[in-house]
Amino acid sequence: MNDRLNPATLQHLSRLDTQALGAHVAQSWQDRIVPALQRYIEVPAKSPAFAPDWAEQGHLKRVLHAAADWVNAQKVPGLSVEIVELNNDQGQARTPVLFFELPASSGTGPAPVAPSGQTCLMYGHLDKQPEFAGWRNDLGPWTPVIDDDRLYGRGGADDGYAVYAAVASIQALQAQGLPHPRIVGLIETCEESGSYDLLPYVDALRGRLGDVGLVICLDSGAGNYDQLWLTTSLRGMASGVLKVQVLTEGIHSGDASGLVPSSFRIMRQVLDRLEDSATGRLLPASFHCEVPAERLAQAQATAAILGEEVYKRFPWAHADCGGANTFTLPTTTDPVDALLNRTWRPTLSVTGADGFPALQNAGNVLRPYTAFKLSLRLPPLVDASQAVQDLKALLEDNAPYRAVVTFEGQGAATGWNAPSTAPWFHDALQAASLAQFGAGYGTIGQGGTIPLMNMLSQGFPRAQMMVCGVLGPRSNAHGPNEFLHLPYAQKLTAAVAQVVTAMP
Chain segment 20-34, per-residue pLDDT in tens: 999 999 999 999 999
Q: What is the pLDDT of residue 7?
A: 54
Q: What is the pLDDT of residue 380?
A: 97
Task: Tell the CATH superfamily of the 7-234+415-502 domain.
Answer: Zn peptidases (3.40.630.10)
Alpha-helical (H) ranges within 84-186 are: 161-175
Sign of CA dihedral 220, 431, 215, 287: negative
User: Angle of helix 486-502 relative to helix 18-28, nearest 10 degrees?
Assistant: 130
Cα–Cα distances (Å) from 230 to 270, 441, 467, 499, in that order, read 39, 7, 6, 12
Q: What is the pLDDT of residue 503?
A: 92
Q: Residue 2 pLDDT > 80, yes or no?
A: no
Strands of 150-152's sheet, edge to edge? 145-147, 150-152, 483-485
Q: Residue 494 pLDDT > 80, yes or no?
A: yes
Q: Residue 98 pLDDT > 60, yes or no?
A: yes
On the question of a common fold for 7-234+415-502 and 238-413, the answer reads: no
Q: If you average pLDDT over residues 3-30, what whole number do you get?
A: 77
Of the candidate ranges 11-20, 128-137, 350-359, 364-373, the one whose mean pLDDT is the lowest: 11-20
Q: If you average pLDDT over residues 171-177, what whole number do you get?
A: 94
CA 15 to chain centre: 35
Decide: residue 316, CB within 10 A, 0-12 exposed, 13-18 middle, 19+ buried: middle
Q: What is the pLDDT of residue 319?
A: 61
Q: What is the pLDDT of residue 363?
A: 95
Is residue 194 very low, low, confident or very high in pLDDT (cuts 50, 70, 90)?
confident
Domain boundaries defined on the chain: 7-234+415-502, 238-413
Q: What is the pLDDT of residue 111?
A: 53
Q: If you average pLDDT over residues 70-97, what whole number do you get?
A: 97
Is residue 139 very low, low, confident or very high in pLDDT (cuts 50, 70, 90)?
very high
Q: What is the pLDDT of residue 109?
A: 62
Is residue 388 very low, low, confident or very high in pLDDT (cuts 50, 70, 90)?
very high
Alpha-helical (H) ranges within 316-465 are: 335-341, 384-396, 423-437, 451-459
pTM of the complete model:
0.90
Of the candidate ranges 215-229, 283-297, 443-457, the one whose mean pLDDT is the lowest: 443-457
Q: Residue 374 pLDDT > 90, yes or no?
A: yes
Can you name the CATH fold of 238-413? Alpha-Beta Plaits (3.30.70)
Q: If you average pLDDT over residues 279-307, what whole number do you get?
A: 97
Residues 417 and 491: their CA atoms lie apart, in Å, by 26
Q: What is the pLDDT of residue 459?
A: 83
Instruction: State the chain's mean pLDDT as an integer.
Output: 93
Q: What is the pLDDT of residue 456?
A: 84
Q: If you average pLDDT over residues 52-62, what whole number do you get?
A: 98
Q: Residue 14 pLDDT > 70, yes or no?
A: no
Q: What is the pLDDT of residue 10?
A: 56
Q: Residue 1 pLDDT > 50, yes or no?
A: no
Alpha-helical (H) ranges within 115-252 are: 161-175, 198-209
Q: Residue 6 pLDDT > 70, yes or no?
A: no
Ramachandran region of residue 150, left (φ > 0), alpha (ψ -120 to 50) or beta? Answer: beta
